[in-house]
Structure 1
Amino acid sequence: MTNSAPGSQCTNLHLQGMLEFETQIFLDIIYSDGLVIGAKGLNLDLVIFNILKTYCDPGNLVIVLNATEQEEKYYTKKLNDPNVYNTTGSTNTTEREDVYLSGGIHFVTTRILVVDMLKKRVPIDKITGFIVLRAHRIFESCQEAFVLRLYRQSNKTGFIKAFSNSAQSFTIGFGHVERVMRALFVKELYIWPRFQSMVIESLKKRAPNVIELHIPISENMKKIQMHILDLMNMTVKELKRLNSSLELQEITVENCLIQKFHKILQAQLDVVWHQLSGRSCQLLADLKTLRHLILTMLYSDPVTFYSIVSGYRTKEYAQNASWVLLEPAELLFSQSHSLVYNKDKEFDPEFCPKWEPLMELLKVEIPNEMKKCNNQDATILILCSDYRTCYQLNKVLRYGPLDYLLREAKKRKLNINKLSKSFDDINSAEIEKISEAGNASNKKMKGEDSKNRATT
């Protein structure tokens, strides 16, 4: 095993299936150490795959950091090379030493790698280089930064190539890009936004036919959203009143709704967290709760949302969280009740706004398009933002919206004294079966809870 020069093996390499901008990223990063920051949606998998293929040789020792289990399986299967190793905790130390000496590509967790480097099980001076995925997370556990520092102390010639698809993560805090690059020991920065000319030209040639549908939320949901925003506004004002000496400009109602809210809180308050009173900490927890409620209302079903909201209407919770006692909270509780029950107190839940358009697309629009194209074997792929939405849509498409909502209500033990007329199409035997399934699910959950408590 030898310490090869970066890019020494890629002169005659055939780059597989890359677009023009991906080829340019590859050529930029293969010959020099650096940090590649791509816009969200620009897939860097092919670039990383071709880099791995370049160094997949027993004469090299390349270590990949921050790869998920799915990525390890993907690259291992795609490379299909005996010189690719997945090092886990189940491998004993002697075997790991032999595997490192065999060279090739190694997917190793930072927890194992830190120990192996400190114990001198890894020939650090023989490492060809590191490939760091999700470079924006290098400070979350600090283990990756520690590994690279140990590496650079003993090896001045090996490469470090880092990649990130989260440009927004570098906008939080002062000089975050510079700090990350310093921790990565790289000097070159390659930024690839979507408006870059080469990216535009590459994607324009293969532009898909996109039809965007804007689905409005119901009137009930609009009112609930307004009440939650009022509560968030009151909470933010109270937080700033209690901490007038601190700079809390970034903590606003608008920022509470964005995906990076937790990182904004961390950047603003980490330094002064020990100075905050118990009341201030509770207000911050309330903000997170209210943010969770508004997102649950938009992305979950009405029954689940009502069940979660009802869980906060208790004396025990109100003793700590004061937002429950405010007037908008009372309006929130009553309005969320109307999402599930009608004026006659019958179980009559609203559907999620996106369900009906989705049903129409699947039953009418797509079959009509298939007939026009004389295509009878088309596969319909529905992409979701998370696993919960996948589970939800799977059940809705399998059982139907009414059946799914009734199952959820039984599972969450909602009071159902009477069903509305919309449930007339579901026969009593089916309803009884759903009730039995809900009771069985609840018993199972209770059994697991008691088992966990006993174990604890």
Structure 2
Amino acid sequence: MAQLAPQHEVVLDFENQTLIELLSEDGLVIMARGLGLDRLFLKFLKLYCDPHNLVLVLNASSLESFLTEELCREGVEYPLKCITNEYSAKEREGLYLQGGVVCITSRILVVDFLRGQCPIDKVTGILVFNGHRVKDSSTEAFILRLYREKNKAGFIKSFSDAPEPFTNGFCQLERVMRNLFLRHVYLWPRFHATVSASLSRHKPDVVELRQAMTPHMVAIQMAVLDIMKACVSELKRSQPSLDTEEVTVENCMNKSFNQIIKLQLDPIWNQLGGKTKQLVFDLRTLRTLLHFLTQYDCVTFYNYLETIRSSTDTYAFSGHSSWLFMDSADTLFVKSRERVYGRFKLGKQSVSKDKTSKDDGGGGLEESPKWHLLSMVLEEIRKETRTNEKLEGSSKVLVVANDERTCYQLRQYLCEGGQRLLEKQLSRLNLTVDTTTSKNLKRSLPSQVGGASKKRKTDTVEEQDGDDEGVETGVICQPFLEEEELEMVFSDDDDGRMEAASSHFGLPSGPVIVLHPLSSANDNPYHMGTVLREMVPQFIVMYDADIQFVRQVEVFKACRPGLPLRVYFLLYDSSVEEQRYLTGLRKEKEAFEQLIKDRASMVVPVDREGRVGDNTLLTRELSASQEVSSRKAGGRGQEVGPQSVLVDIREFRSSLPFLIHRRGIDIVPLTLEVGDYILSPDMCVERKSVSDLIGSLNSGRLYNQAVAMTRHYKRPLLLIEFDESRSFSLQKSGSIKGEISSQSVASKLALLTLHFPTLRILWCPTPNATAELLEQLKVGQGQPDVEVALSMGQDSLDKVEGDKYNPLVKDFLLKLPGINSKNYRRIMNKIGDLQELVSLSEGQLDRLLDNDANAKLLWSFLHTQSKVTTTTRGKKRT
């Protein structure tokens, strides 16, 4: 039973094959979740961590700490460099010249590419993680285009373990490969022959335990599913355009349903009625209820359910949740309450507070059946370690659950007992306990939880076969473990709240049980691989089913042939939890099957990689100015200077700079104080999305931006860009009102145009349309000056070139009645200060302004005393 050291890992056959293929030919690797994409990626980082190379890593910002720690653990001499916005441009340039592997955000790298601070011709290659995120107009696609324009020899390699996004949309795989400038795609599903052979050679001992849910849980699950089915049917009736194959109860159980609904309803979301929107929200709520049912205790579930009902009662609006009035909802609330408070007997019938039941009375505070199953498993492990001399004193048990909250509850259960845990939960949530049911809270849960079916296997968890054997279960009301026997990555303070202690934990000598969540606080999907390598457990208890972790365990065992490992797989029988797991497996398998067909029928051009000189993918379109010049010269190509646009660096979060660049216009990234895009010496553009527009109007920021643009540029433009996949309107059709409203976006825009008559508003439905419009606006215009654009807005008191008036005084005068853009110069030329203006008579003002009406308005405003009216206890005083 000798253990292998963590560093003595066997490299699997499919890992070797993938490494060799990707080194020989650039390509996109799509691997099933959990098969070790992080291990493969780290091998490439180790290979290029040398000052003689300059390798850039994209789309891996969330994994920077993980990658750095793993490389340090493996003793890499030259560490990974991580560039953030904390580094200045000079410091970044120095880091590039030092060589090695540099992990950098896309927005910073594209700016450095355009400014020439990163030597593109000296870049050895680019590693793109999460290749499925590289869309047609993404910043990563822009970076790769700039890279291939100036570097034909460097490599591009991309990695992904999410096959489903490559099947969403028409020819999605081919489009991603075109954006990545790659010709080859390497597919590694779990059912690949090489993968199956590698993992089946050394398999862990798998014990699958299926736990029956309590009768109350079964009733609750059926009630929620009935409600969900009714909501789905109602949603299809209200929106016949929905894809009936995608909008199903099965898909509603998974998180992917949000994306399905988003894709189908976003284009018409503003046109939907309140009922349809409420149905979408209700389906999300019902999915959360199903998750809480199997994940948390009865008190937490009932408290969440009561929160839903109380919020609906408090906010009685027309689009309320109609499912609350269904018969199934009545069953849901009754059964949920009975799990907490139980039933009390009246005569011959058993009665709960909500309704009469035909069943016999029972105790309250129903414990989760999985708790007892976990206790049974840990007791079996404890007995085995005591009887096995080779395991005693060195065995480590890893218990994994879905999230931190579940781990915290399991710790309380193992250290305090189930009833104590539930009583504390009840007290903490301040749920009222009736005096008639208070006695039931002290009772133990009767032995009606149901049995657990058990089978020991030597096969993988995914492919299940064999016969079941009944295992007796019972209630454990006393603490199972002492506090010192349990290690955990979380600790609770005096208020009972959960706090993260550390992502790493020390391993004390002797038997130890470690509780660890499957989810990561820093969104690192590969952290469980690190836990396995650091802990090297002999026993793993999977309290919650997770496809990725199942495969991580398989890879972990296959890489350590001599390591004894037993896996206990706990699952509620015939539950939504089981269905979600199986649905995830099925969808991944279908995605890989579709990718295999797409790869077989895909036509890939020879010059897809962009290494040849005249490549169609790298050809930029002629700008509108160049086309006009060519037509005027009779097709002889009259010489036209390079077209350029100055772009604020904050705008590189959007796709517009990339699309402008593709139209043959050079992009110059700058930090601009005024405007987002400078098209010419006189033309400035402020770009707003719809959400940004509304927020800027409400906060007043757009007013200040309009002031700055009109002060420094003769042709200020406000560009409003909305999503092409969504319908857009500032207000509902038929609701246009004549009066001005402070709450109306249209009214605020109208006031903005009245106050700034030189400001023009442009509406664009798509980024492509925006790029085309900006290109047309540049026709016949001069090129912007970098120095002048940088100087704009540096000091609010600076005078605009050609304007001899103080802008602050000018703005103040323009706000006075009777003074406008035509006569303010007369006053500023002949009047020294405001005191002199006030001392003028109405006749003098008439001669100065040369307009009776304006003079009367200004004189009345300056000489009429205003009345201030206040109200005190219902009485008006002047």
Shorter-chain TM-score tier: 0.7 to 0.9
The correspondence of residues 41-440 of structure 1 with structure 2, limited to 5 A, is 41-67=34-60, 68-77=63-72, 78=74, 80-139=76-135, 142-314=138-310, 315-317=313-315, 319=317, 320-344=320-344, 348-363=364-379, 365-374=380-389, 375-377=391-393, 378-417=395-434, 418=438, 420-422=441-443, 440=495
> What CA distance in whole angstroms lies between the structure 2 residues aligned with 1:274 and 1:169?
26
1:26-85 Cα distance to aligned partner (Å, 9 max, x none) = 011122221111122211222212211111111211122232244233333235333521
Letter matched to residue 338 of structure 2: S
Gaps of 5+ in 2: 1-7, 345-351, 353-361, 446-476, 479-491, 498-878
Give the conservation status (yes or no) of the 8 Å contact 2:242–2:264. no
Give the conservation status (yes or no) of the 8 Å contact 2:58–2:103. yes
Letter matched to residue 290 of structure 1: L
Letter matched to residue 308 of structure 2: Y
Specify whether residues 310 and 198 from structure 1 end up closer, same or farther in structure 2 by C-alpha distance, changes over 3 A only: same
Deviation at 1:366, TM superposition (A): 0.6
Deviation at 1:24, TM superposition (A): 0.3
Letter matched to residue 56 of structure 1: C
Deviation at 1:308, TM superposition (A): 0.7
| TM-score, length of structure 2 as denominator length | 0.45
Deviation at 1:301, TM superposition (A): 1.8
Specify whether residues 407 and 238 from structure 1 end up closer, same or farther in structure 2 by C-alpha distance, changes over 3 A only: same
Q: Which residue of 2 aligns with 1:38?
A: 31
Specify whether residues 83 and 43 from structure 1 end up closer, same or farther in structure 2 by C-alpha distance, changes over 3 A only: closer
> What CA distance in whole angstroms lies between the structure 1 residues aligned with 2:133 and 2:428?
38
> What CA distance in whole angstroms lies between the structure 2 residues aligned with 1:278 and 1:394?
43
Q: Secondary structure at the match of 1:398?
A: helix
Specify whether residues 350 and 136 from structure 1 end up closer, same or farther in structure 2 by C-alpha distance, changes over 3 A only: farther
Letter matched to residue 335 of structure 2: Q
Give the conservation status (yes or no) of the 8 Å contact 1:410–1:439. no
Higher mean Cα deviation, 209-218 or 267-276?
267-276
Give the conservation status (yes or no) of the 8 Å contact 1:318–1:324. no
> What CA distance in whole angstroms lies between the structure 1 residues aligned with 2:236 and 2:84?
47
Max Rg structure: 2
Letter matched to residue 33 of structure 2: K
Higher mean Cα deviation, 46-55 or 206-215?
46-55
Deviation at 1:98, TM superposition (A): 0.8
Deviation at 1:144, TM superposition (A): 3.4
Specify whether residues 140 and 66 from structure 1 end up closer, same or farther in structure 2 by C-alpha distance, changes over 3 A only: farther
Letter matched to residue 370 of structure 1: T
Specify whether residues 91 and 253 from structure 1 end up closer, same or farther in structure 2 by C-alpha distance, changes over 3 A only: same
Specify whether residues 277 and 143 from structure 1 end up closer, same or farther in structure 2 by C-alpha distance, changes over 3 A only: farther
Specify whether residues 152 and 282 from structure 1 end up closer, same or farther in structure 2 by C-alpha distance, changes over 3 A only: farther
Specify whether residues 395 and 73 from structure 1 end up closer, same or farther in structure 2 by C-alpha distance, changes over 3 A only: farther
Give the conservation status (yes or no) of the 8 Å contact 1:318–1:325. no
Deviation at 1:220, TM superposition (A): 0.8
Deviation at 1:212, TM superposition (A): 0.9
> What CA distance in whole angstroms lies between the structure 2 residues aligned with 1:412 and 1:317?
22
Deviation at 1:381, TM superposition (A): 0.8
1:358-397 Cα distance to aligned partner (Å, 9 max, x none) = 111112x112222343221211111223333223323322
> What CA distance in whole angstroms lies between the structure 2 residues aligned with 1:222 and 1:266?
31
Deviation at 1:438, TM superposition (A): 11
> What CA distance in whole angstroms lies between the structure 2 residues aligned with 1:341 and 1:393?
22
Gaps of 5+ in 1: 1-14, 427-436, 443-456
| Structure number having the greater strand percentage | 2
Q: Secondary structure at the match of 2:205?
A: coil
Higher mean Cα deviation, 30-39 or 133-142?
133-142
Letter matched to residue 368 of structure 1: K
Give the conservation status (yes or no) of the 8 Å contact 1:339–1:349. yes
Specify whether residues 204 and 438 from structure 1 end up closer, same or farther in structure 2 by C-alpha distance, changes over 3 A only: closer
Deviation at 1:296, TM superposition (A): 1.4
> What CA distance in whole angstroms lies between the structure 2 residues aligned with 1:22 and 1:233?
44
> What CA distance in whole angstroms lies between the structure 2 residues aligned with 1:146 and 1:422?
66
Deviation at 1:259, TM superposition (A): 3.9
Specify whether residues 249 and 120 from structure 1 end up closer, same or farther in structure 2 by C-alpha distance, changes over 3 A only: same
Specify whether residues 225 and 387 from structure 1 end up closer, same or farther in structure 2 by C-alpha distance, changes over 3 A only: same
Question: What fraction of aligned residue pairs are identical, expressed as a percent?
Answer: 40
Q: Secondary structure at the match of 1:183?
A: helix
Specify whether residues 240 and 209 from structure 1 end up closer, same or farther in structure 2 by C-alpha distance, changes over 3 A only: same
Q: Secondary structure at the match of 1:86?
A: strand
| Structure number having the greater helix percentage | 1
> What CA distance in whole angstroms lies between the structure 1 residues aligned with 2:55 and 2:177?
20
Deviation at 1:211, TM superposition (A): 0.8
> What CA distance in whole angstroms lies between the structure 1 residues aligned with 2:113 and 2:423?
56
Specify whether residues 409 and 172 from structure 1 end up closer, same or farther in structure 2 by C-alpha distance, changes over 3 A only: farther
> What CA distance in whole angstroms lies between the structure 2 residues aligned with 1:22 and 1:240?
46
Give the conservation status (yes or no) of the 8 Å contact 1:173–1:267. no
Q: Secondary structure at the match of 2:28?
A: strand
Letter matched to residue 406 of structure 1: E
Deviation at 1:187, TM superposition (A): 1.7
Deviation at 1:21, TM superposition (A): 0.8
| TM-score, length of structure 1 as denominator length | 0.83
> What CA distance in whole angstroms lies between the structure 1 residues aligned with 2:115 and 2:340?
60
Letter matched to residue 367 of structure 1: R
1:247-302 Cα distance to aligned partner (Å, 9 max, x none) = 44311111111342222223333444444333322211111111111111121221
1:84-103 Cα distance to aligned partner (Å, 9 max, x none) = 21222323332122112211
Q: Secondary structure at the match of 1:50?
A: helix
